């Protein structure tokens, strides 16, 4: 994870140099400066994590954009099982997860109890999720907010993984964020959460 707001404008400018032409084109299509910052931070963070996993420098990682999908690892060329990876962002936080053994989907959401959670649930949840949400209505405020964002994050993480049911989902503890990681195969041990800086 990285606090994208802590990345200086000068560092951000330098880190843009890590992006491929396709990534730069996508970056420039974002209207909001915060979304541009999140995008650069996410792609650099992913390169750092994949570089560590694959034993190469982050700059050797080449990502290829895919319309409507997560990027594809273009280099280094991998034989056999491709590493799984997922990027998520919410507010000042950007996170990524990588695995050599399984496909995965990660979602993070800033927990905000001031939002109209009932309206959001009605808009986004299917009938099963709505029944789960309805069961949370009697809980105290903080627990109800926590429950809503857990449902939301799990839905998003499953979507990124490409499944609607099944899989293996873990709630990762964080003070500000709802964090859910869903994997195709069960993990041998819980993932480690590491907060890093992008300055190099």
Reported as a single tens digit per residue, the pLDDT across 34-50 is 999 999 999 999 999 99
Same domain, 70 and 129: no
Same domain, 44 and 24: yes
Same domain, 1 and 70: yes
Same domain, 92 and 112: no
Residue pLDDT, tens place only, 154-178: 999 999 998 877 789 999 999 999 9
Q: Is residue 153 part of a domain?
A: yes
Same domain, 5 and 51: yes
Interior CA angle at 161 toward 155 and 164, to 5°? 50
Residue pLDDT, tens place only, 41-76: 999 999 999 999 999 999 999 999 888 888 989 999
pLDDT classification of 199: cutoffs 50, 70, 90:
low
Cβ proximity of 61 and 44 under 8 Å? no
133 phi, psi to nearest 5 deg:
-65, -40
Q: Is residue 126 part of a domain?
A: yes
Number of domains in the chain: 2
Handedness of CA 27, 29, 30, 31 (dihedral sign): positive
């Amino acid at each position: 994870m990285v606090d994208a707001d802590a990345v200086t404008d000068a560092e951000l400018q330098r880190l843009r140099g890590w992006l491929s032409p396709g990534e730069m084109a996508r970056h420039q299509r974002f209207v909001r400066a915060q979304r541009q910052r999140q995008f650069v931070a996410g792609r650099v963070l992913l390169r750092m994590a994949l570089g560590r996993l694959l034993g190469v420098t982050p700059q050797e990682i080449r990502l290829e954009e895919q319309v409507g999908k997560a990027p594809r690892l273009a280099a280094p060329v991998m034989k056999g099982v491709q590493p799984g990876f997922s990027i998520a962002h919410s507010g000042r936080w950007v996170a990524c997860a990588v695995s050599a053994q399984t496909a995965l989907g990660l979602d993070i959401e800033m927990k905000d109890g001031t939002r109209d959670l009932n309206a959001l649930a009605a808009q986004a949840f299917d009938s099963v999720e709505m029944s789960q949400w309805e069961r949370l209505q009697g809980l105290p405020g903080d627990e109800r907010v926590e429950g809503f964002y857990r449902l939301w994050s799990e839905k998003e993480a499953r979507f990124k993984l490409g499944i609607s049911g099944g899989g293996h989902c873990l709630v990762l503890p964080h003070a500000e964020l709802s964090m859910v990681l869903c994997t195709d195969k069960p993990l041998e041990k819980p993932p480690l959460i590491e907060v890093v800086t992008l300055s190099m």
